[in-house]
């Protein structure tokens, strides 16, 4: 059996860039050690989620997702489940979480990749700055995180060199199969309900540059009026964090209470977890 790797793929959904940074760094480190090219597959925007991607058995796919309510973002599940064919490629599922927990997201992604014909050989839950916050895990993945990612790349390459046959699915933590989503809570400890919360726009600051419209991963901002949210909002904060005018913001009280709870209760430095 030929288990040679000829290409490494960095595949990711990354509205604010944190998942991209972690996944591309890991894929690049592995590609450099193997001496093979690295290619990106970014499925953040609607236009990037139209086709079906078929991989080869000589590919190694680093597939990263941010964690939403402890799971793979549910609005992206149809794409992840239905738009890739593994063809016996190796894969490394990566769950990026904002300093609280990756809960069941990693095992959910692992299961999807296995069902799609990939062979998972490693996995990780990596920490990044929370999309909601400027202080929660600020600056992460930082230098210490990147050093651990570098070490992880070495371990993956070493494992590949020892494989003589396709391995069993990598063992990771989480409920199998995942059945529940994390329930957001407010400062008072009660569930915080903000599914219908949408970003507001300070039109005195807005210069109609169109960045928020172009960067919304759900295509939910009216192309003719950036203050008009015409579709679903997944609270990814792409519009908020990519607006150079600081014109986008959330004012929903339930959402803000949840954000403040996270910043109060999860200040400790969460550490990444690696599985081989």
CATH of residue 227: 3.30.70.20
Task: Indicate whether 186 belongs to any domain.
Answer: no
At 148 the pLDDT is 98
Note the pLDDT tens digit of each residue in 91-114: 999 999 999 999 999 999 999 999
| Gap between the Cα atoms of 206 and 9, Å rounded | 37
Our count of domains for the chain comes to 2
Query: HSE-up of 10 (CA within 13 Å, CB side)?
Result: 21
| Gap between the Cα atoms of 62 and 41, Å rounded | 10
Are the C-beta atoms of residues 140 and 128 closer than 8 Å to each other? yes
Tell me the whole-structure pTM to 2 decimals: 0.96
**pLDDT over 90, % of the chain:** 98
Are the C-beta atoms of residues 172 and 275 closer than 8 Å to each other? yes
List residues bridging with 123 in a β-sheet.
Answer: 275
148 and 63 fall within a common domain: yes
Task: Indicate whether 260 belongs to any domain.
Answer: no
Average pLDDT for residues 210-235, to the nearest whole number?
A: 97
Using the predicted structure, report yes or no on whether residue 2 has a pLDDT greater than 70.
no
**Domain boundaries, position 246:** 200-251
pLDDT-based confidence at residue 3 (cuts at 50, 70, 90): confident
Note the pLDDT tens digit of each residue in 244-262: 999 999 999 999 999 999 9
35 and 163 fall within a common domain: yes
| Gap between the Cα atoms of 118 and 55, Å rounded | 9
């Amino acid at each position: 059996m030929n288990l040679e790797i000829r290409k490494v793929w960095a595949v990711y959904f990354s509205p604010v860039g944190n998942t991209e940074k972690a996944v591309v760094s890991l894929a690049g480190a592995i590609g450099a050690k193997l001496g093979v090219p690295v290619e990106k597959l970014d499925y953040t925007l609607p236009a990037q989620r139209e086709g079906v991607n078929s991989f080869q058995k000589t590919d190694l796919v680093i597939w990263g997702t941010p964690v939403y309510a402890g799971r793979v973002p549910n609005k992206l599940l149809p794409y992840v489940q239905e738009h890739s064919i593994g063809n016996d490629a190796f894969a490394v599922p990566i769950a990026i979480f904002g300093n609280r927990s990756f809960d069941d997201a990693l095992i959910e992604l692992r299961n999807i990749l296995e069902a799609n014909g990939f062979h998972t050989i490693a996995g990780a839950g990596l920490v990044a700055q929370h999309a909601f916050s400027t202080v929660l895990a600020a600056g992460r993945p930082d230098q210490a995180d990147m050093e651990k990612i570098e070490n992880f790349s070495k371990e993956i390459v070493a494992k590949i060199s020892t494989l003589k046959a396709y391995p069993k699915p990598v063992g990771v933590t989480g409920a199998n199969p995942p059945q529940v989503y994390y329930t957001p809570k407010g400062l008072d400890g009660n569930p915080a309900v903000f599914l219908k919360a949408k970003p507001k726009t300070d039109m005195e600051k807005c210069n109609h540059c169109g960045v928020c419209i172009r960067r919304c991963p759900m295509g939910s901002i009216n192309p003719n009026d950036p203050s008009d949210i015409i579709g679903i909002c997944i609270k990814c904060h792409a519009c908020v964090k990519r607006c150079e005018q600081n014109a986008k913001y959330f004012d929903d009280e339930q959402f803000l209470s949840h954000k403040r709870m996270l910043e109060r209760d999860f200040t400790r430095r969460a550490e990444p977890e690696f599985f081989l």
